[in-house]
Amino acid sequence: MLSLSLREVLHLIKTEQISARDLLKKCIERATSVRELNAYITETHELAWSQVGLAPGKSELAGIPIAVKDNFCTRNIPTTCGSKMLDNYVPPYNATVVDRLLTSGAVLMGKTNMDEYAMGCGSIDSRYGPVRNPWKYKFQSSARSSVIIQSKEGPTSGGDWYIAGGSSGGSAVAVATGTCFGALGSDTGGSTRNPASYCGIVGLKPTYGSLSRYGLIPLVNSLDVPGILTKTVDDAALLLRIIAGRDVNDSTTVSESLHLTDLDDQPSVKGLHIGIPKEYNAPGLCGETRRAWEDVANALETAGACVSLVSLPHTQYSINTYSILCACEVASNMARYDGIEFGHRAEGNNMSTESLYAQSRHEGFNEVVRGRIFAGNYFLLRKNYRRYFQQALKVRRLISDDFTKVYGDGVDVLLTPTTLSVALPYSKFSMADNRTRTAEQDYFTQPINMAGLPAVSIPVRLSESGLPISLQVVGQRFKDRVMLNTAKWIEMNTNFQKLNLDYLDS
């Protein structure tokens, strides 16, 4: 049951072949059996039991278990952003996208683990410990460790494991392991698509402005977008339709329709113009990922699509531009955490106000967050403002214009890799610092945020080592449906072998 898609179990519930309570029981049992993966910071199983009894059987989500990344506010449930700074923060309200899911009948399994304040691409920098990828994971129970999970080489040994990707790694693992049927993540530079790629599921970043950011604790206001993680493209489209739309609490939301009726049952790519950005054949791109990219492009062409090389010439400047703009907005957004108005407060009665600020922030933030705050304040100094921040804004416009020109020349969607490689072992990933890893693994994803475009990551095959390889489809602004139909065609014609953990229920 837990290996089914959201739409499949929803059909079973609505046709009374299974009950929402039985489904929730199965999800809670699975969440308990995979707890060592550390996908959740806060489990809300008791709340879920109360919600499933109230969910109308004919509601859109009719008792479907979902999970929410721990940087979305949830009424009367701790929201920590994976940080000591918000250890005891309990919001009095729900984020708009959370409210819309619950109003549609979803039940909340819990708040998922993440890189602190969504700063990272591995989900290893949380105050609550790292998230572990379920692929090839060697569970500690002797009954489980004898089972090889989708692997030709067997599970990892010596206590090592593969990273889940970040910063929405907890949400990706929650979906991949069947503890829920959909999850919210956030996407600032790839934080939904990156972990979706590593965990072998679908990760959707909608057009900027189509989803409300109200109640999403901000990282970079001009780039942040709520993201959706599911097992299938159809599931992602369903959740997007439910949570999209204008919100009076968020002035960046627009009333423009995404035309999100259900996707085509048998989508066609005949006559579709698909661009292959030549700059995305980047140094460090894994050979297996490159071959998967070429094979899918060839399959699309055989099916009647026009596939051509295109150029996004300012791609080479994108990661540095992103880093500067990100640091500047982080410095501004993090200024509110002073230990006085709210957030962690350092102990001590004899400190000056300035010392209290400094000590509270030193104790409350990890090194990654403090480092970005320092960098942002440096870039925003009067003597540096024009040299760094204003210049980065100009380059961001050039990056956005690259996409506008390509789409203006008749291209409908772009096809790119999602990440440079498959998931890395934790021991290897942790050898480099956060900044270096982000620059590597967000290479293909962060330009999309800079241009405000929609993109979706979909798994297409397993590597020789038995780990998921994913590709990214990038759409035009507010033409998410065209992009999702293309992604669905790829999904249907690659027949990806999904992670199977059904043995845990035996």
Active-site residues, by number, are 69, 167, 191
**What's the CA gap between 488 and 480, in Å, rounded?**
12
Residue 161 has what DSSP assignment? -
Would you give the distance in Å from CA 445 to the centre of its chain?
Answer: 11
CA distances (Å), 411 to each of 259, 275, 301, 398, 461, in order? 20, 6, 14, 18, 26
* Whether 280 contacts 417, CB under 8 Å: yes
With b for 16 or more beta-carbon neighbours within 10 A and e for fewer, the 63-100 pattern comes to: bbbbbbbbbbbbeebbbbbbbbbbeebebeebbbbbbb
Residues 6 or more apart whose CB falls under 8 angstroms from that of 164 comprise: 37, 122, 123, 130, 131, 132, 133, 170, 172, 173, 195, 198, 199, 423
Q: Which is nearest to 376 in space by CA: 389, 367, 363, 364?
A: 389
Strands, E, within 295-347: which ranges? 306-310
Q: Which is nearest to 48 in space by CA: 68, 63, 58?
A: 63
Residue 307, SS3? Answer: strand
Q: Both tokens of residue 88? A: 């005891």
* Whether 197 contacts 455, CB under 8 Å: no
Quickly count: other Cβ atoms within 10 Å of residue 405's Cβ.
Answer: 14
Task: Give 55's Cβ-side CA count (13 Å radius).
Answer: 29
Q: Both tokens of residue 114? A: 């993440």
**What's the CA gap between 460 and 464, in Å, rounded?**
13
**What's the CA gap between 39 and 115, in Å, rounded?**
12
Q: Both tokens of residue 199? A: 């965990």
